[in-house]
Protein backbone atom coordinates (compact mmCIF):
# COMPACT_ATOMS: atom_id res chain seq x y z
CA UNK A 1 0.00 0.00 0.00
CA UNK A 2 1.25 3.49 -0.87
CA UNK A 3 2.22 5.87 1.91
CA UNK A 4 0.53 9.21 2.41
CA UNK A 5 3.68 10.87 1.05
CA UNK A 6 3.42 8.81 -2.13
CA UNK A 7 -0.22 9.82 -2.55
CA UNK A 8 0.78 13.46 -2.17
CA UNK A 9 3.42 13.10 -4.87
CA UNK A 10 0.81 11.61 -7.17
CA UNK A 11 -1.63 14.41 -6.29
CA UNK A 12 0.75 17.23 -7.14
CA UNK A 13 1.57 15.79 -10.57
CA UNK A 14 -1.47 17.24 -12.28
CA UNK A 15 -2.38 15.71 -15.62
CA UNK A 16 -3.66 17.70 -18.62
CA UNK A 17 -7.45 17.78 -18.60
CA UNK A 18 -7.77 17.59 -14.80
CA UNK A 19 -10.29 20.03 -13.34
CA UNK A 20 -9.24 21.95 -10.24
CA UNK A 21 -12.24 23.14 -8.23
CA UNK A 22 -11.65 25.87 -5.65
CA UNK A 23 -12.84 24.90 -2.19
CA UNK A 24 -13.96 28.38 -1.16
CA UNK A 25 -14.57 30.45 -4.30
CA UNK A 26 -15.87 27.48 -6.31
CA UNK A 27 -14.08 28.51 -9.49
CA UNK A 28 -12.92 25.78 -11.86
CA UNK A 29 -9.66 25.51 -13.80
CA UNK A 30 -8.75 22.96 -16.47
CA UNK A 31 -5.07 21.97 -16.42
CA UNK A 32 -3.42 22.30 -19.86
CA UNK A 33 0.26 21.60 -19.23
CA UNK A 34 3.10 22.05 -16.76
CA UNK A 35 5.03 25.31 -17.05
CA UNK A 36 7.67 24.80 -14.38
CA UNK A 37 8.47 23.83 -10.80
CA UNK A 38 10.41 25.36 -7.95
CA UNK A 39 11.19 24.95 -4.27
CA UNK A 40 7.74 26.09 -3.20
CA UNK A 41 5.36 24.70 -5.80
CA UNK A 42 4.53 23.80 -9.39
CA UNK A 43 3.09 26.13 -12.02
CA UNK A 44 0.62 24.93 -14.66
CA UNK A 45 -0.99 26.52 -17.65
CA UNK A 46 -4.73 26.34 -17.12
CA UNK A 47 -7.95 27.51 -18.72
CA UNK A 48 -10.89 29.22 -17.06
CA UNK A 49 -13.93 30.52 -18.92
CA UNK A 50 -12.08 30.26 -22.22
CA UNK A 51 -9.08 32.29 -21.02
CA UNK A 52 -5.57 31.07 -20.24
CA UNK A 53 -3.95 31.65 -16.86
CA UNK A 54 -1.10 30.31 -14.75
CA UNK A 55 -1.94 28.25 -11.65
CA UNK A 56 0.64 27.64 -8.93
CA UNK A 57 -0.11 24.86 -6.46
CA UNK A 58 1.77 23.59 -3.40
CA UNK A 59 1.44 21.78 -0.08
CA UNK A 60 3.53 24.55 1.53
CA UNK A 61 0.67 26.76 2.63
CA UNK A 62 2.76 29.27 4.59
CA UNK A 63 5.16 29.90 1.71
CA UNK A 64 2.25 30.28 -0.71
CA UNK A 65 0.65 32.84 1.60
CA UNK A 66 3.87 34.87 1.54
CA UNK A 67 3.92 34.82 -2.27
CA UNK A 68 0.28 35.88 -2.46
CA UNK A 69 0.95 38.77 -0.08
CA UNK A 70 3.89 39.84 -2.26
CA UNK A 71 1.72 39.84 -5.39
CA UNK A 72 -0.98 41.84 -3.61
CA UNK A 73 1.60 44.33 -2.38
CA UNK A 74 3.12 44.77 -5.84
CA UNK A 75 -0.27 45.32 -7.44
CA UNK A 76 -0.67 48.38 -5.22
CA UNK A 77 2.38 49.99 -6.82
CA UNK A 78 0.86 52.42 -9.29
CA UNK A 79 1.98 52.02 -12.89
CA UNK A 80 4.11 48.98 -12.10
CA UNK A 81 4.72 45.83 -14.13
CA UNK A 82 6.09 43.94 -11.15
CA UNK A 83 5.08 40.34 -11.47
CA UNK A 84 1.93 38.86 -12.99
CA UNK A 85 -1.51 40.04 -11.90
CA UNK A 86 -3.14 37.93 -9.19
CA UNK A 87 -6.54 36.54 -10.23
CA UNK A 88 -7.62 34.07 -7.54
CA UNK A 89 -6.47 32.41 -4.29
CA UNK A 90 -8.02 29.20 -2.98
CA UNK A 91 -7.54 25.63 -1.75
CA UNK A 92 -8.04 22.39 -3.63
CA UNK A 93 -9.00 19.06 -2.09
CA UNK A 94 -7.59 16.22 -4.17
CA UNK A 95 -9.45 12.96 -4.88
CA UNK A 96 -7.30 11.40 -2.13
CA UNK A 97 -8.41 13.94 0.46
CA UNK A 98 -5.21 16.02 0.57
CA UNK A 99 -5.61 19.80 0.68
CA UNK A 100 -3.35 22.07 -1.35
CA UNK A 101 -3.04 25.82 -1.59
CA UNK A 102 -3.10 27.40 -5.03
CA UNK A 103 -3.29 30.79 -6.64
CA UNK A 104 -4.07 31.81 -10.19
CA UNK A 105 -2.24 34.61 -11.94
CA UNK A 106 -1.94 36.27 -15.30
CA UNK A 107 -0.32 34.05 -17.93
CA UNK A 108 2.53 35.94 -19.55
CA UNK A 109 3.20 34.55 -23.00
CA UNK A 110 6.56 35.52 -24.36
CA UNK A 111 10.12 34.47 -25.09
CA UNK A 112 13.15 33.66 -22.97
CA UNK A 113 15.52 36.63 -22.73
CA UNK A 114 18.52 34.66 -24.01
CA UNK A 115 16.66 33.50 -27.09
CA UNK A 116 15.23 36.96 -27.71
CA UNK A 117 18.69 38.57 -27.66
CA UNK A 118 20.07 35.82 -29.90
CA UNK A 119 17.28 36.37 -32.42
CA UNK A 120 17.10 40.16 -32.31
CA UNK A 121 20.62 41.30 -31.50
CA UNK A 122 22.67 42.38 -28.50
CA UNK A 123 21.32 45.91 -28.85
CA UNK A 124 18.50 44.73 -26.61
CA UNK A 125 20.87 44.20 -23.68
CA UNK A 126 20.74 47.91 -22.84
CA UNK A 127 16.96 47.97 -23.20
CA UNK A 128 16.46 45.13 -20.77
CA UNK A 129 19.00 46.48 -18.28
CA UNK A 130 17.12 49.75 -17.93
CA UNK A 131 13.73 48.04 -17.76
CA UNK A 132 14.85 45.60 -15.06
CA UNK A 133 16.51 48.30 -12.98
CA UNK A 134 13.37 50.42 -13.19
CA UNK A 135 11.30 47.49 -11.93
CA UNK A 136 13.79 46.59 -9.21
CA UNK A 137 13.70 50.19 -8.02
CA UNK A 138 9.93 49.97 -7.53
CA UNK A 139 10.31 46.53 -5.99
CA UNK A 140 12.78 47.78 -3.39
CA UNK A 141 10.75 50.90 -2.66
CA UNK A 142 7.85 48.58 -1.82
CA UNK A 143 9.98 46.97 0.88
CA UNK A 144 10.90 43.77 -0.94
CA UNK A 145 13.98 42.13 -2.41
CA UNK A 146 13.36 39.73 -5.28
CA UNK A 147 15.83 37.25 -3.81
CA UNK A 148 15.77 34.52 -6.46
CA UNK A 149 16.31 36.75 -9.46
CA UNK A 150 17.36 34.60 -12.44
CA UNK A 151 16.73 34.06 -16.13
CA UNK A 152 14.11 31.38 -15.40
CA UNK A 153 11.98 33.99 -13.62
CA UNK A 154 12.05 36.48 -16.49
CA UNK A 155 10.24 36.57 -19.80
CA UNK A 156 10.16 39.01 -22.72
CA UNK A 157 6.60 39.92 -23.73
CA UNK A 158 5.62 41.74 -26.95
CA UNK A 159 3.60 44.87 -27.72
CA UNK A 160 5.60 46.67 -26.47
CA UNK A 161 8.71 44.59 -25.94
CA UNK A 162 9.36 44.40 -22.21
CA UNK A 163 10.89 42.13 -19.59
CA UNK A 164 8.46 40.86 -16.96
CA UNK A 165 8.85 38.83 -13.78
CA UNK A 166 6.92 35.55 -13.95
CA UNK A 167 7.49 34.12 -10.45
CA UNK A 168 7.88 35.95 -7.14
CA UNK A 169 8.97 32.84 -5.25
CA UNK A 170 11.96 33.76 -3.10
CA UNK A 171 10.85 37.34 -2.58
CA UNK A 172 11.93 38.51 0.88
CA UNK A 173 11.25 41.57 2.98
CA UNK A 174 14.22 43.92 3.21
CA UNK A 175 16.36 43.19 6.25
CA UNK A 176 15.59 39.49 6.51
CA UNK A 177 17.68 36.51 5.38
CA UNK A 178 17.39 35.18 1.83
CA UNK A 179 16.30 31.53 2.09
CA UNK A 180 15.40 30.69 -1.51
CA UNK A 181 18.11 31.30 -4.08
CA UNK A 182 19.91 29.77 -7.06
CA UNK A 183 23.64 29.30 -6.47
CA UNK A 184 24.90 30.78 -9.74
CA UNK A 185 23.10 34.07 -9.00
CA UNK A 186 23.81 34.09 -5.27
CA UNK A 187 26.61 36.34 -4.01
CA UNK A 188 26.95 34.12 -0.95
CA UNK A 189 27.82 31.19 -3.20
CA UNK A 190 30.57 33.25 -4.84
CA UNK A 191 31.84 34.47 -1.47
CA UNK A 192 31.16 38.08 -2.44
CA UNK A 193 28.61 39.08 0.17
CA UNK A 194 25.97 37.94 2.62
CA UNK A 195 22.45 36.64 2.03
CA UNK A 196 20.87 39.58 3.77
CA UNK A 197 17.84 40.87 1.84
CA UNK A 198 18.95 44.28 0.56
CA UNK A 199 18.98 45.98 -2.85
CA UNK A 200 22.65 45.15 -3.45
CA UNK A 201 21.78 41.44 -3.25
CA UNK A 202 19.40 41.81 -6.20
CA UNK A 203 21.91 43.93 -8.11
CA UNK A 204 24.50 41.16 -7.87
CA UNK A 205 21.94 38.71 -9.28
CA UNK A 206 21.01 41.31 -11.93
CA UNK A 207 24.59 41.20 -13.22
CA UNK A 208 24.58 37.41 -13.20
CA UNK A 209 21.41 37.41 -15.30
CA UNK A 210 23.26 39.12 -18.14
CA UNK A 211 26.36 37.00 -17.59
CA UNK A 212 24.13 33.91 -17.89
CA UNK A 213 22.67 35.24 -21.15
CA UNK A 214 26.11 34.99 -22.77
CA UNK A 215 27.24 31.92 -20.83
CA UNK A 216 24.11 29.73 -21.04
CA UNK A 217 25.94 26.67 -19.69
CA UNK A 218 27.16 28.72 -16.72
CA UNK A 219 30.51 27.94 -15.06
CA UNK A 220 31.97 26.96 -11.71
CA UNK A 221 33.33 29.27 -9.04
CA UNK A 222 37.02 29.29 -8.24
CA UNK A 223 39.45 30.52 -5.65
CA UNK A 224 39.18 34.15 -6.77
CA UNK A 225 35.55 34.69 -7.66
CA UNK A 226 35.87 38.38 -8.45
CA UNK A 227 38.63 37.79 -11.02
CA UNK A 228 36.69 34.96 -12.65
CA UNK A 229 33.52 37.02 -12.99
CA UNK A 230 35.39 40.14 -14.14
CA UNK A 231 37.14 38.11 -16.85
CA UNK A 232 33.85 36.62 -18.03
CA UNK A 233 32.37 40.11 -18.36
CA UNK A 234 35.45 41.47 -20.17
CA UNK A 235 35.24 38.67 -22.73
CA UNK A 236 31.68 39.57 -23.86
CA UNK A 237 31.65 42.30 -26.50
CA UNK A 238 28.04 43.28 -25.82
CA UNK A 239 28.83 43.94 -22.13
CA UNK A 240 31.92 46.10 -22.69
CA UNK A 241 30.06 49.46 -22.51
CA UNK A 242 28.69 48.49 -19.08
CA UNK A 243 31.53 46.39 -17.70
CA UNK A 244 32.75 48.79 -15.02
CA UNK A 245 29.19 49.33 -13.78
CA UNK A 246 28.57 45.58 -13.70
CA UNK A 247 31.81 45.02 -11.77
CA UNK A 248 30.82 47.70 -9.27
CA UNK A 249 27.50 45.94 -8.70
CA UNK A 250 29.25 42.63 -8.14
CA UNK A 251 31.39 44.31 -5.48
CA UNK A 252 28.31 45.74 -3.75
CA UNK A 253 29.17 49.37 -4.45
CA UNK A 254 25.59 50.41 -5.26
CA UNK A 255 23.16 50.88 -2.40
CA UNK A 256 20.18 51.19 -4.75
CA UNK A 257 19.12 50.34 -8.28
CA UNK A 258 18.62 54.08 -8.82
CA UNK A 259 22.39 54.64 -8.68
CA UNK A 260 23.10 51.83 -11.10
CA UNK A 261 20.36 52.89 -13.49
CA UNK A 262 21.70 56.45 -13.54
CA UNK A 263 25.19 55.28 -14.47
CA UNK A 264 23.97 52.97 -17.23
CA UNK A 265 21.82 55.77 -18.63
CA UNK A 266 24.86 58.09 -18.61
CA UNK A 267 26.88 55.49 -20.51
CA UNK A 268 24.16 55.19 -23.13
CA UNK A 269 23.93 58.95 -23.64
CA UNK A 270 27.71 59.35 -23.75
CA UNK A 271 28.02 56.58 -26.32
CA UNK A 272 25.40 58.20 -28.51
CA UNK A 273 27.08 61.62 -28.28
CA UNK A 274 30.38 60.15 -29.42
CA UNK A 275 28.69 58.44 -32.34
CA UNK A 276 26.86 61.62 -33.29
CA UNK A 277 30.11 63.61 -33.35
CA UNK A 278 31.86 60.90 -35.35
CA UNK A 279 29.25 60.30 -38.02
CA UNK A 280 27.51 63.64 -37.99
CA UNK A 281 23.87 64.36 -37.40
CA UNK A 282 23.01 63.97 -41.07
CA UNK A 283 24.46 60.47 -41.21
CA UNK A 284 22.57 59.40 -38.10
CA UNK A 285 19.27 60.51 -39.61
CA UNK A 286 20.02 59.11 -43.06
CA UNK A 287 18.05 55.98 -43.92
CA UNK A 288 21.16 54.51 -45.50
CA UNK A 289 22.58 54.07 -42.02
CA UNK A 290 19.40 52.72 -40.42
CA UNK A 291 20.73 49.12 -40.15
CA UNK A 292 23.47 50.24 -37.78
CA UNK A 293 20.82 50.94 -35.16
CA UNK A 294 20.42 47.24 -34.61
CA UNK A 295 24.14 46.74 -33.98
CA UNK A 296 25.62 46.72 -30.50
CA UNK A 297 27.16 50.11 -31.14
CA UNK A 298 23.75 51.60 -31.79
CA UNK A 299 22.13 50.22 -28.67
CA UNK A 300 21.71 53.64 -27.11
CA UNK A 301 19.02 54.97 -29.44
CA UNK A 302 16.91 51.86 -29.05
CA UNK A 303 17.51 51.51 -25.33
CA UNK A 304 16.70 55.09 -24.46
CA UNK A 305 13.64 55.11 -26.70
CA UNK A 306 12.18 51.91 -25.29
CA UNK A 307 13.09 52.84 -21.76
CA UNK A 308 11.29 56.17 -21.97
CA UNK A 309 8.32 54.55 -23.71
CA UNK A 310 8.09 51.85 -21.04
CA UNK A 311 7.64 54.51 -18.37
CA UNK A 312 4.45 55.66 -20.07
CA UNK A 313 2.65 52.29 -20.13
| Paired strand residues for 53 | 46, 106
Residues 174 and 199: their CA atoms lie apart, in Å, by: 8
59, 97 contact by CB (below 8 A): no
271, 235 contact by CB (below 8 A): no
Alpha carbon of residue 284 to chain centroid: 34
Among residues 11, 90, 135, 148, the one annotated as catalytic is 148
178, 170 contact by CB (below 8 A): yes
Listed in sequence order, the residues at least 6 apart from 95 whose beta carbon sits closer than 8 Å to its beta carbon are: 11
Packing angle between helix 199-214 and helix 243-250, nearest 10 degrees?
A: 130
Q: DSSP strand E in the chain: where? A: 19-21, 28-37, 42-48, 51-58, 86-93, 99-106, 144-145, 154-157, 162-165, 172-173
Binning the chain into helix, strand and coil, the percentages to the nearest 5 are 45, 20, 35
Known active-site residue 148 = yes
178, 200 contact by CB (below 8 A): no
Residues 8 and 10: their CA atoms lie apart, in Å, by: 5
| Paired strand residues for 56 | 43, 103
Residues with catalytic function: 148
Amino acid sequence: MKTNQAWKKQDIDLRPGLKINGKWHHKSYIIKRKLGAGAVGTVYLCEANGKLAALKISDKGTSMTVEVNVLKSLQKVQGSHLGPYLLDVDDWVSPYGNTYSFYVMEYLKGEEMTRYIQNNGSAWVGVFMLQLLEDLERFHQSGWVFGDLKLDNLIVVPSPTRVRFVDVGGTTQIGRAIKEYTEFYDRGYWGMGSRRAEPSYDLFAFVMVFVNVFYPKRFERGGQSDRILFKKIDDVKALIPYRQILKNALMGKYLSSVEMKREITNVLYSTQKRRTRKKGVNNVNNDVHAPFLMEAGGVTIIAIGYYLFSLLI
